Amino acid sequence: MKSFRRNIKGLGALIAAVFLAVSGWFGYTVYTQGSRWMVSRYNSRIDRARSKVTMGDILDRNGILLASTDKEGDRYYAEDDAMRRAVSQTVGDSLSMAGAGVQTFHADTLLDVSGSALDRTFQLVRGEGTVGNTLRLTIDARLARYVSTQFPAGKNGAVVVMNHKTGEILCMVSKPDYDPENLTRSNIDMEGSAYLNRCLQGLYAPGSVMKIFTLAAVLEYNPAAVSRNYTCAGTSGYGRFTLRCAGGAVHGDMNLRQAFAKSCNNVFGGLTVELGFDRMINACETMGFNDNFHFQDITLYESRFPDSVIDAGDLAWAGVGQSSVLVTPMHLCMLACAVAEGGVMPEPKLVAQVTGASGVARPRTQPGEYSRVMTEHTAQTVKSYMQSCVEKGTGTRARLAGYTVCGKTGSAQVSNDKSVPTNALFVGFIDSESAPYALAVVVEGGGSGGDTAAALAQRIFAYMTGQ
């Protein structure tokens, strides 16, 4: 009998343990993946709401109409063709092809699924049908249209622009784009990757913009590196692997600031090896790599720093933004914001205001933060190095009259034999109280970041500052 009781107790303990494990897994899944289920086209709750509620309007920060519903219940979009396409992945579409779009990701708010009693009362008194909430976004649709028209013709890629003080997303342009106005079941496969918002879902080798992360790691763990002198002979050997500077450059003798401005692979690869894998991955993860970026307004694909390296050569290659390192343009823009704001990486904001049928507007852009990703001293030093890069390094094409621009260029290899042109990148910001703008530019197959991406960044900054 005693043995039987012990077995019963053991079985009960096992059942309790399994229950707790399943409950924990469920809670974790809801926390990390709940928003993805909420916006899924397979979510029956959202599907039922669509049949009963007229989806609310979507406006840009200046009140420009980006999406609305006509009397027949059909969704329509911005009247201007170029603008409509420029914000296509940000706004989304009626078929939920752009899953990261507001119309899908924030469908529960647009349909007022939670059901505000005040709004329902106003609709009942007025004799109106049930209408969802209107969302005013933080994006500037005119800016998005401008960026789209300036993007190199025939190229794919992404541009993210943020206010580095508030975290507001001012622009997300992803190429190729598509026209949500003419989207039908018969042509949904014709657009290819146009539904992918590369700003949030595109994973790119960062190339030399990775040196912002690497520099921050060096300053945090090896601050004496600032006072050392370095010599670049053009190549560095790491056993089976040889690290070369871009274009066969031989930079000669220089200090760390000059090595950053000239984007010297040999110096930064060597410093990464000195740091060691453990310190490097710890610093990178502090700055957001390998984390599930789950925010109120958006979610990002996870930027990746390898959880192991083959040898010193592989680590050096990762330290200059190659190997298996991958990052989203939004993450890069958030990093620029962190450097501009003393080391605090902001939470990106996309929804500025929610207005129900009662006319009561509920602001949604209270500044929030992801995390402090570097010390204030480190951020100030990185900022000054990024300023040098633009003033007298590889980023000179991003200079803007009357403003201090800080940035870093990148030219990321996408093929081992270099048969495919490099992706061109630029990450930077204007160091200004009146123009607190940060951006990340990726042009696939764009060649030199110092040419293609930096020049595009300069045009965007000039437009935003009225030049």
Residue 155's φ and ψ, nearest 5 degrees, are: -105, 150
The two three-digit tokens of residue 315, written as one number: 């680590």
437-443 and 423-430 as β-strands: parallel, antiparallel, unpaired? Answer: antiparallel
pLDDT band at 60 (very low <50, low <70, confident <90, very high): very high
CB neighbour class for 451 (10 Å; exposed up to 12, middle 13-18, buried from 19): middle
Q: What is the pLDDT of residues 443-457, one digit of tens each?
A: 999 999 999 999 999
Structure-model confidence comparison of residues 287 and 13, the more confident one: 287
Q: What is the pLDDT of residues 348-359, one digit of tens each?
A: 999 999 998 778
pLDDT at res. 239 = 83
pLDDT band at 416 (very low <50, low <70, confident <90, very high): confident
Residue 201: name the closest of 303, 338, 305, 91 by CA. Answer: 303
pLDDT at res. 127 = 46
pLDDT at res. 317 = 96
pLDDT at res. 409 = 98
Share of the chain above pLDDT 90, in %: 73
Does residue 225 register a pLDDT over 50?
yes
Find the mean pLDDT for residues 322-343. Answer: 98
Q: What is the pLDDT of residues 7-25, one digit of tens each?
A: 565 555 556 555 554 444 4
Alpha-carbon distance of 23 to 16, in angstroms, equals 10
Alpha-carbon distance of 47 to 41, in angstroms, equals 7
Alpha-carbon distance of 464 to 2, in angstroms, equals 80
Residue 94's φ and ψ, nearest 5 degrees, are: -70, -20
Find the mean pLDDT for residues 74-90. Answer: 96
Among 148-162, 173-187, 202-216, the minimum mean pLDDT is found in 173-187
Among 26-35, 174-183, 204-213, 324-333, the minimum mean pLDDT is found in 26-35
Alpha-carbon distance of 163 to 437, in angstroms, equals 5
Does residue 381 register a pLDDT over 80?
yes
CA angle 372, 328, 262 (to 5 degrees): 80
Alpha-carbon distance of 430 to 425, in angstroms, equals 17
Share of the chain above pLDDT 70, in %: 84
Find the mean pLDDT for residues 61-79. Answer: 95
Structure-model confidence comparison of residues 129 and 223, the more confident one: 223
pLDDT at res. 362 = 87
If one counts every other C-beta atom within 10 angstroms of the C-beta of residue 4, the result is 8
The whole-chain average pLDDT of the chain stands at 88
Structure-model confidence comparison of residues 449 and 366, the more confident one: 449
3-state secondary structure of 311: coil
Alpha-carbon distance of 401 to 430, in angstroms, equals 11
Cα–Cα distances in angstroms (integers) from residue 366 to residues 41, 64, 125, 345, in the given order: 30, 22, 33, 15
Alpha-carbon distance of 141 to 172, in angstroms, equals 10
241-244 and 235-238 as β-strands: parallel, antiparallel, unpaired? Answer: antiparallel
pLDDT band at 415 (very low <50, low <70, confident <90, very high): confident
Find the mean pLDDT for residues 257-262. Answer: 97
Give me the residue spans of the domains in the chain: 207-350+367-464
Find the mean pLDDT for residues 225-237. Answer: 95
pLDDT at res. 449 = 96
Find the mean pLDDT for residues 126-136. Answer: 76
Does residue 4 register a pLDDT over 90?
no
pLDDT at res. 379 = 98
Does residue 388 register a pLDDT over 80?
yes
> The domain 207-350+367-464: what is its CATH number?
3.40.710.10
Find the mean pLDDT for residues 396-413. Answer: 97
Among 109-123, 130-144, 230-244, 400-414, the minimum mean pLDDT is found in 109-123
